[in-house]
Structure 1
Amino acid sequence: MSIFTRLNELLQMLAARGRSTIDAIIDAVRTAWSGDPETRRRVAFSVAIIALSAKMAKADGVVTMDEVDAFRDILDIPAEETRNVFRLYDIAKQDTAGYEIYAQRLKDFCSNGDGDCPLLTDVLDALFHIAKADGLIHERELVFLQDIATIFGLSEQAFARMQHRHLEGPNDPYAVLGINPDSTPREARRRYLTLVRENHPDQLQARGVPEEFLFIATERMKAINTAYEQIAGKTAA
């Protein structure tokens, strides 16, 4: 079933309960699909992208058309669903709760106490894509992203690798793969294959990324493939 159908169901639940806050959203997702963890992960991921995108726009102070277009890159929204998606966006933007509170509750909800939730990395990856949409990541956006990464439990090395991939790209292929420039061709190949397995679209879907959001996986794989091709080209020269 389409993620948009689920988001519409979520909005109906919020209306029936007469509450439209981040707390209400998290509670609704937790209880409505308590017996269906796969759907619950898909809805939680979708809400996280929408809500934290809204919080990031509020932190930056300005919502540009480039950011809106980047948001639409990540989620290809049918015209008839635009209103409902942006209703959730506005709920999060207008809620007085800070993004730190929401990020922490999302982490607690996602990890179920085991401290490991790869889905959170996918959320942060999408936020990076939106933040860089106007050609650079502003200081307040970078602080926002760093705070989210810390709350999610992402290591400094992993955050730096993601930042390099989004900002430096082909200029630093070793950083994209997370290896040292003096790594051997065999080490580079091994790391590349690991990243391919971890970031294949099928793997993302298995951990709860809805198919409507697979733009994230496609862009990530492009960066990984480009980085490895550059490194392999250097060693072959």
Structure 2
Amino acid sequence: MSVWSNIVEMAAHAFDPEADPPEFNEECAPRPNDVGFTAAVIGLAAKMARADGMTTEAEMAAAAQVFRPPPGEEEHFRRAFVLAQQTVLGFESYAKQIGRKYRARPCLLEDVLDGLFHIAGADGVVTQAEIDYLEEVASHFGFSEMEFRRIKATNLGPNAGDPYAILGLLPGASMDEVRHAWRRIAAENHPDRMLQRGAPPEFVEIARDKTAAINAAYARIREELSVEAK
């Protein structure tokens, strides 16, 4: 039985509200054959796509880009995705389990959120219901409100006048704090770093966009602080 066939079985089992969420390996990073981890993330993605009441073909295609089912397994992937979104029950369990096991790997957890944002925006609009869902998932992953603001801003663009959100800072931070935050976040989101973490090649373009947003935010804050210092 293939990995994706196993995931279909797990998704069907998870449709039962009385069932426990799937277990996955305890290793420090998920592997391609870590069926339980993949099933849990698919559950989060499917329920997120359904958060606004409907799932579009664009969102389904974006999910396939993120999870990359091999040739011949596309139907199994689609079946698992559809099964997972038939109920809104259980996403908290998926998020808590992933967050608990990988709390020491925040970059990995942020990669998962990036993938969810990518799927949410595939139809050209990210609804407030999807934002609310993603924020709750982020909280179960252990991210603070400020950290979620940064992740949201780097994926969707900052709110007007809020480049600090991209760097995870509050307005009023010192130049030293801004520089330190920029260096750390830029390093964590560098495309090469994402590939080293095992992210799909499609995530490289996401990483490039995030890096551009991070650098633009730093340049804007630096310019603002320079003007204020004169």
Higher mean Cα deviation, 134-143 or 189-198?
134-143
User: CA-atom RMSD, angstroms?
Assistant: 3.7
Structure 2: gaps spanning 5 or more residues: none
Which of 48, 59, 73 is the equivalent residue of 1:67? 59
> Is the 2:157–2:213 Cα contact (8 Å) retained in structure 1?
no
Q: 1:117 maps to what in 2?
A: 105
Distance of aligned partners of 1:170 and 1:43 in 2 relative to their CA distance in 1, 3 Å threshold: farther
- TM-score (norm: length of structure 1): 0.71
Aligned counterparts of 2:5 and 2:57: Cα–Cα separation in 1:
29
Structure 1: gaps spanning 5 or more residues: 1-7
Deviation string, structure 1 residues 62-88 (Cα, Å, up to 9, x no partner):
112443354355456676553343233
Q: 1:163 maps to what in 2?
A: 152
1:52-131 pair list within 5 angstroms: 52-71=44-63, 74=66, 80-94=72-86, 97-108=89-100, 110-111=101-102, 115-118=103-106, 119-131=108-120
Aligned counterparts of 2:110 and 2:33: Cα–Cα separation in 1:
14
Tell me the number of residue pairs that the alignment of Structure 1 and Structure 2 aligns.
221
- TM-score (norm: length of structure 2): 0.72
Q: Of Structure 1 and Structure 2, which has the larger fraction of its residues in helix?
A: 1
Which of 26, 34, 37 is the equivalent residue of 2:22? 26
Q: 2:180 maps to what in 1?
A: 190
> Is the 2:11–2:80 Cα contact (8 Å) retained in structure 1?
no
**Bigger relative contact order (CA 8 A; separation at least 6):** 1
Secondary structure of 2:105's partner? coil
Q: 1:220 maps to what in 2?
A: 210
Aligned counterparts of 1:151 and 1:105: Cα–Cα separation in 2:
9
Query: Aligned residues: percent identity?
Result: 34
Which of 173, 191, 200 is the equivalent residue of 2:190? 200
Higher mean Cα deviation, 87-96 or 75-84?
75-84
